[in-house]
C-alpha cells in the first residue's frame, strides 16, 4: 500500500507537523510520501514543518539501518517511513515575485477577456506580489493554481502520476489533502488540486485501488489586526473567515453533489476560535503556533491511511468535535484505529522526549572520557556498551562522531516534541475560556507570549524538584515516575533484531509505558 499526504497552505503545513509527531509515536502507516503546497515559500509554518520533516527522515534513516543502528520492525518509534522530494514544498507559481497580471499574461489578453478579469479582480489584486502567498484571496489562488501546469515532469506532480500508475498496477494507493477552507492558498488549492488529481485518475482510466481523502479545516482561529500601516495591504482578515467559509461550503456542497471527488472528507472546526497573539501578513514571520484542531486533521489523515479503515463506494464526510465542556481532555483525542490508541502513543512519546532531553540524552552526550563514568551502570552496560562495543578496537564507540550526531539529533527532536505539545496546549486556549491540561509544562517550559519564533523556551537544566514532577507530566492516572523509567529500561526485553543505538532508543521509548 502506498500513502501520500499533501499539506496545502499554512494550515496544511501545520497539519503535517502534527502528523509527523504522530508518526514518530507509531500512529502512522508503514510508508508515507509527504509534500506541501504553498506559494509563500518562506512562510514560517511551512519552514518549520520542512525542517521537522528533514529531521524526522534523517533520524529515522539513522535509527532504521539494519547494519548499524536498528530500532527493529516491531518498534513503534519512527515507525513510518516518510519520504519527500528534494524540496518538499511545491510552489504553484515559480519565478521571482510573480503577480496575477504576469501569471495570466493580462497585457496580452483580448480586450473582452481583460474586461472579464477586471470584473473578477480589482487593481490591487492583479498587482499583488504573490511570493508571500495569496493573502486569503482564494479567487487569486484559484486562478494562479489553474494557470500552472500539472505535468509529469514536475517533481511534485510526478509523485501523483506515480501513485495513480501504482494503483493501475494493482497496488492500493491513498492520497490525503489537508487544508483550511478559509484563507488563500488552502482554500484555492484544496478543490483545485483534488479535482486535478481526480482528472488524472480519470485520464489514466484508474477505477479501483485509488482513494482520495481530505481534511478541511473550518475557521478555528482568529487574531487582532493592528490598525497602523495596513491601508492598501492585502492580507487575511479574520472577520471575513466565516463569510468565506459559508461560500466555500456552498461550493463544496454543490461539488460533492454532482461529482464524487473524495472518498472520505474529515471536517473540523473549533468554537470558540483560538486567538493567536501575533499577526503577520506572511513570510518567515508568519510562524503560527500548532493548534489542537490541526491534530484532528492529522489524526483524520492517519485514520484514512490505516488498514482497518474500510472505504465505501459512497463519499463519506466525517466531522469531529471535543466534549461539551470548556476543558480539552485526552479523551477528546480520537484513536487512529481499534488497535492504535492515540493517547497511549502520544503520551509515551512525550514522556520519552522529556526523559531523553533532560535525563538520558545529556548522559550520552560527549566523549568517552565523559560518558565512561556510567559504564558499570546496568542500563548503560546492557543497552549501550554492549551494542556499541567494537571488538577490534576494544572500545565502546558511543563517543564517536557519527553516534554523537544521532544522540544530538534525537535531543533536538525531543525538544521539538516538547515545544510542540507545550505550544499547542498554551496557544489553543490562551485568551479564551477554554482549558487544556493534557500535560503539565510549567516546570520545564517558559512561555513568551509576545514572541512568534520562540514562544516556548525549554529549560536548559532541571532541578531535582522539577524532575520529581515527571509523574505529573502527562495528565493521566499512570503516575509514572523517572524511577519507574530507570527500572523499566533495566528490565525491558531487547529485541534480537535491534542494533546499536536503536536498542537504547526503543527500550527507553517502551519504558515510558507502565
Which is nearer to other proteins, 145 or 462 (by Cβ)? 462
Which is nearer to other proteins, 262 or 385 (by Cβ)?
A: 385
Residues 233-252, mask of contacts with other proteins (x by CB under 8 A): --------------------
CB of 399 to other proteins, least distance (A): 15
Cβ burial 414-447 (10 Å sphere, 16+ → b, else e)? bbbbbbbbbbbbbbbbbeeebebebbbbebbbeb
Q: Which of 142, 225, 249, 490 binds other proteins (CB under 8 A)?
A: 490
Residue 381 within binding range of other proteins, rule CB under 8 A: yes
Q: Is 10 exposed, middle or buried (0-12, 13-18, 19+ CB in 10 A)?
A: buried
* C-alpha span between 406 and 401 (Å, rounded): 9
Nearer to other proteins, 147 or 363 (CB): 363
Interaction between residue 513 and other proteins (CB under 8 A): no
Where does this chain touch other proteins (CB under 8 A) — which range of 20-28, 135-143, 380-388, 496-504? 380-388
Q: Which grid coordinates are listed for 264?
A: 472520505
Contacts of 211 by beta carbon, 8 Å cutoff, 6+ apart: 172, 173, 174, 175, 263, 264, 304, 311
Binding flag, residue 487, other proteins (CB under 8 A):
yes
Phi, psi of 496, deg, nearest 5: -60, -30
According to CB under 8 A, which one of 115, 250, 390, 491 is a site residue for other proteins?
491
Q: What is the dihedral of CA 365, 368, 374, 375, to 10 degrees?
A: 140
Count other C-beta atoms under 10 Å from residue 455's C-beta.
Answer: 22
With CB under 8 A as the contact rule, which of the stretches 49-57, 188-196, 261-269, 359-367 interacts with other proteins?
359-367
164-172, 181-189, 327-335, 483-491 -> range binding other proteins (CB under 8 A)? 483-491
Q: Please report whether residue 352 would count as binding other proteins according to CB under 8 A.
A: no
- In 3-state terms, what secondary structure has residue 224? coil
Residue 268, CA distances (Å) to 35, 333, 358 in order: 21, 13, 35
Positions 384 through 403 that interact with other proteins (CB under 8 A): 385-386
Tell whether residue 380 is a contact of other proteins (CB under 8 A). Answer: yes
The closest alpha carbon to 194, from 216, 209, 208, 213, belongs to 213
- Number of shown-chain residues binding other proteins (CB under 8 A): 27
Nearest CB to other proteins, comparing residues 369 and 376: 376
Burial class (CB in 10 A: 0-12, 13-18, 19+), 127: middle
Tell me whether the omega of the peptide bond preceding residue 272 falls within 30 degrees of 0, making it cis.
yes
Looking at the Cβ atoms of 166 and 489, the one nearer to other proteins is: 489
Residue span binding other proteins (CB under 8 A) among the ranges 19-27, 70-78, 121-129, 371-379: 371-379
482 binds other proteins (CB under 8 A): yes
CB of 461 to other proteins, least distance (A): 12
Q: Does 343 bind other proteins (CB under 8 A)?
A: no
Residue 401 grid cell: 562522531
State the nearest-atom distance from the C-beta of 392 to other proteins, in Å.
21
Task: Report the nearest approach of other proteins to the CB of residue 212 (Å).
Answer: 48
Strand pairing category for 173-180 and 210-217: parallel
Residue 499 binds other proteins, judged by CB under 8 A:
no
| Site map (CB under 8 A) of other proteins, residues 255-284, x = contact | ------------------------------
CB 16 within 8 A of CB 289: no
Q: Are strands 31-37 and 89-90 parallel, antiparallel or unpaired?
A: parallel
Question: Which C-beta is closer to other proteins: that of 390 or that of 487?
Answer: 487
Given 55, 467, 472, 478, the residue binding other proteins (CB under 8 A):
467
- Using the contact rule CB under 8 A, the part of the chain among 17-25, 152-160, 279-287, 383-391 near other proteins is 383-391
Stretch that binds other proteins, among 79-87, 325-333, 412-420, 485-493 (CB under 8 A): 485-493
Which 3-state string (H, E, C) describes 81-118?
A: EEECCCCCEECCCCCCCCEHHHHCCHHHCCHHHHHHHH
Among 223, 235, 251, 374, binds other proteins (CB under 8 A): 374
- Indicate whether 470 belongs to the interface with other proteins (CB under 8 A): yes
Q: Phi/psi at 289 (nearest 5 deg)?
A: -70, 155
Residue showing cell 514562544? 455
Per CB under 8 A, 483 contacts other proteins? yes
To other proteins, the closest distance from the beta carbon of 483 in angstroms equals 5
Enter the DSSP assignment of 32: E
Q: Does 370 bind other proteins (CB under 8 A)?
A: no
> What counts of helices (H) and strands (E) characterise the chain?
18, 16
- Which of 426, 505, 510, 439 is closest to 469 using CA atoms? 439
Q: Which is nearer to other proteins, 13 or 503 (CB)?
A: 503
Among 430, 472, 486, 513, interactor with other proteins by CB under 8 A: 486
CB of 180 vs other proteins, minimal distance in Å: 43
Binding site for other proteins (CB under 8 A): 359-360, 363, 373-374, 376-383, 385-386, 467-468, 470, 481-483, 485-487, 489-491
Amino acid at each position: 500500500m502506498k500513502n501520500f499526504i499533501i499539506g496545502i497552505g499554512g494550515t496544511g503545513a501545520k497539519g503535517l507537523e502534527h502528523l509527523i509527531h504522530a508518526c514518530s509515536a507509531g500512529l502512522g502507516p508503514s510508508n508515507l510520501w509527504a509534500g506541501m503546497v504553498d506559494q509563500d515559500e518562506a512562510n514560517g509554518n511551512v519552514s518549520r514543518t520542512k525542517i521537522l520533516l528533514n529531521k524526522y527522515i534523517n533520524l529515522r534513516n539513522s535509527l532504521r539501518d539494519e547494519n548499524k543502528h536498528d530500532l527493529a520492525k516491531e518498534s513503534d518509534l519512527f515507525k513510518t517511513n516518510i519520504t519527500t522530494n528534494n524540496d518538499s514544498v511545491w510552489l504553484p507559481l515559480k519565478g521571482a515575485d510573480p503577480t496575477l497580471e504576469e501569471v495570466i499574461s493580462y497585457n496580452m489578453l483580448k480586450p473582452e477577456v481583460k474586461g472579464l478579469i477586471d470584473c473578477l479582480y480589482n487593481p490591487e489584486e492583479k498587482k499583488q506580489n504573490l511570493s508571500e502567498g495569496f493573502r486569503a484571496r482564494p479567487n487569486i489562488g484559484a486562478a494562479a493554481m489553474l494557470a500552472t501546469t500539472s505535468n509529469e515532469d514536475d517533481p511534485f506532480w510526478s509523485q501523483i502520476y506515480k501513485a495513480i500508475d501504482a494503483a493501475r498496477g494493482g497496488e492500493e494507493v491513498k492520497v490525503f489533502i489537508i487544508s483550511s477552507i478559509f484563507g488563500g492558498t488552502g482554500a484555492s488549492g484544496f478543490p483545485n488540486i483534488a479535482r486535478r488529481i481526480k482528472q488524472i485518475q480519470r485520464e489514466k482510466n484508474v477505477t479501483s485501488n485509488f482513494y482520495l481523502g481530505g481534511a478541511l479545516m473550518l475557521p478555528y482561529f482568529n487574531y487582532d489586526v493592528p490598525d497602523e500601516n495596513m491601508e492598501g495591504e492585502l492580507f487575511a482578515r479574520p472577520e471575513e473567515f466565516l463569510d468565506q467559509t459559508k461560500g466555500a461550503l456552498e461550493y463544496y456542497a454543490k461539488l460533492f453533489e454532482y461529482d464524487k471527488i473524495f472518498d472520505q472528507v474529515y471536517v473540523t472546526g473549533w468554537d470558540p476560535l483560538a486567538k493567536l497573539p501575533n499577526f503577520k501578513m506572511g513570510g518567515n514571520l508568519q510562524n503560527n503556533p500548532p493548534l489542537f484542531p490541526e491534530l484532528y486533521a492529522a489524526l483524520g489523515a492517519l485514520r484514512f491511511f490505516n488498514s482497518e479503515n474500510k472505504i465505501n463506494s459512497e463519499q463519506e464526510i466525517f466531522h469531529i468535535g471535543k466534549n461539551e465542556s470548556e476543558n480539552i481532555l485526552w479523551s477528546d483525542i480520537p484513536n487512529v484505529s481499534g488497535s492504535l490508541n492515540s493517547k497511549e502513543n502520544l503520551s509515551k512519546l512525550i514522556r520519552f522526549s522529556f526523559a531523553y532531553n533532560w535525563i538520558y540524552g545529556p548522559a550520552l552526550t560527549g566523549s568517552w572520557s565523559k560518558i565512561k563514568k556510567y559504564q558499570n551502570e546496568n542500563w548503560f552496560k546492557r543497552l549501550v556498551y554492549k551494542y556499541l562495543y567494537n571488538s577490534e578496537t576494544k572500545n565502546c564507540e558511543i563517543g564517536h562522531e557519527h553516534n554523537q550526531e544521532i544522540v544530538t539529533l534525537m535531543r533536538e527532536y525531543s525538544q521539538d516534541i516538547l515545544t510542540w505539545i507545550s505550544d499547542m496546549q498554551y496557544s489553543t486556549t490562551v485568551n479564551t475560556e477554554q482549558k487544556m491540561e493534557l500535560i503539565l509544562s510549567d516546570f520545564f517550559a517558559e512561555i513568551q507570549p509576545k514572541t512568534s519564533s520562540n514562544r516556548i523556551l525549554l529549560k536548559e537544566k532541571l532541578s531535582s524538584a522539577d524532575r520529581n514532577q515527571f509523574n505529573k507530566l502527562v495528565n493521566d492516572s499512570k503516575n509514572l515516575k523517572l524511577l519507574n523509567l530507570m527500572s523499566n529500561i533495566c528490565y525491558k526485553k531487547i529485541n534480537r533484531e535491534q542494533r546499536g543505538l536503536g536498542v537504547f532508543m526503543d527500550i527507553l521509548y517502551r519504558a515510558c509505558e507502565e
